[in-house]
Amino acid sequence: MASFEEVVRGRRSIGKVKSDPIPKELVEKLIDAAIWAPNHFRTEPWRFIVMTGEGRKVLGNAYVDIASEKWDEVSNEEREQRSEKEVAKAFRSPVVIAAVCAPSDDPRADLREELAASHAAVQNLLLSAHANGLGAVWRTGDPTYHPKMKQAFGLGEREQIVGFVYVGYPDMQQPEGTRTPGAEKTVWIEN
């Protein structure tokens, strides 16, 4: 079994995965790792929406609704082609997990901390995917934060999507990773 440091250093964004289904139990294992992220006041400000099979059309249709806002002067044929391309984005992996920040009503909870905890949950999910032989990529971008995306998933007024995690068995070579050494990014204040 790989050490924690090997898992952290070995994880990469894997954008090309096989269409093979992922067992539900394995997806649940990833989410179980996600929920152990640190969170201030134990608010657990996250939710996950798992899309598989035709369930991914919810995401695909939302991509179409958002992108089509800019298709004013496009022919019907071009509109259909662009729609197919947008829907296809949701089918790039057999499992897509929408990670949602669902802020607590606790008056002590700060939205910035709730978002940070939700992002930490996504990192745990990505690390768990890697440790379990899966490839994953965390996708965001303007459509992620669009009001129509929130509407597509029935999110509450205060809830927001922090990203979509595409998960599958890798179908590409894992890229080499590089980082600037931590010592070059660290300032020590002593005495």
Binding annotation: 11-13, 40, 138-140
How many angstroms separate the CA atoms of 123 and 101, rounded?
14
116 token code pair: 């940070």
Annotation: binding site for FMN: 11-13, 40, 138-140
CB of 26 within 8 A of CB of 167? no
CB of 100 within 8 A of CB of 106? no
Residue 139, burial from CB neighbour count under 10 angstroms (0-12, 13-18, 19+): middle
Nearest CA to 175 among 6, 67, 16, 1? Answer: 16
16 token code pair: 């090309």
